[in-house]
Amino acid sequence: MRQPQNWIVIPIYNQLTLTRDAISTALAQDIPGGVQVLVVIDRGDDGVAHWLRSQRPRVQVVEAPGCGVSKAWNLALDHVFNTMRSEHALVVNSDVRLRPDTYSCLVGDGGSFVTCVGTSSGAKFPGGVPSGRVRPHPDFSCFLIRRELRDRIGPFDAAMRIYCSDGDYHLRMQKAGVSAYCLDLPFYHYASGALKQTDPDDRERILKIAGQDREVFRNKWGFEMGGTEYYEQFKNPEAPASEPPLEENDFNVEP
């Protein structure tokens, strides 16, 4: 039987209601051959794990309690690229809604690491045909990554469990001369969905881990993620001054 080639990867941390929306729009992608969704469940005790298991076979489920987003990305991409030998994967948060043409537009762009841009207002969603304009600031809440790029850059740094591994990956791509950029193709993003809906004790635990991740990042690079020195790494002297600021995914954890 022919193996599926269009994979959508989604890390899960509860959020049953939002996850249903994300899965629905993931499965509605118009890319030829359809899609296979692979979810990695970090925490699923609000009923989301049970619901996801009921969505088989179009949704494959990996349960990895307490793994964090970096390890979830690595587990899923190892399967998609090393086991299934797919050429690309679309990686999204569980608190997003996608346009039906999201996957096909990102693949059609041809870039090795290309992303959409999140909107929380709905003003740009679903929007019209992308203009082709790009900005050199990827949005890690919805990104397409190709196997050749992952082979070159390697896995995400799982020492940063839920925060900063996206900024670390962007820096590694920058140092390797890889052009990672964002198209003007919107997706709807319920930003920080998990953090807003979690209980106070869990919120405190998540924020504590986020602080630890910032320290790991600082020790590795010698500067803070999101600080002046961080942004200096991506300066493009030919870029217009009006370009939007860098946006990085934080696995639903606000800095």
E strand or H helix at 220, and its extent? helix 200-221
Q: pLDDT by residue (tens digit) across 161-198?
A: 999 999 999 999 999 999 999 998 999 988 655 556 67
Whole-number Cα distances in Å, 140 to 109, 117, 158, 173, 183: 17, 9, 16, 13, 12
89-98 pLDDT, tens per residue?
999 999 999 9
pLDDT of residue 247: 38
pLDDT score, position 29? 97
Residue spans per domain, the chain = 6-232
Q: What is the dihedral of CA 231, 120, 169, 217, to 10 degrees?
A: 60
Q: Torsions phi, psi of 187, nearest 5?
A: -135, 155
The pTM of this model reads: 0.88
Q: How far apart (Å, rounded) are the C-alpha atoms in residues 84 and 133?
A: 33
Residues facing 89 on adjacent strands: 7, 145
Which CATH fold would you assign to the domain 6-232?
Spore Coat Polysaccharide Biosynthesis Protein SpsA; Chain A (3.90.550)
pLDDT above 90: percentage of residues in the chain: 72
What residues of the chain score a pLDDT lower than 50? 237-255
Q: Note the pLDDT of residue 203.
A: 84
What's the confidence (pLDDT) of residue 41?
A: 98
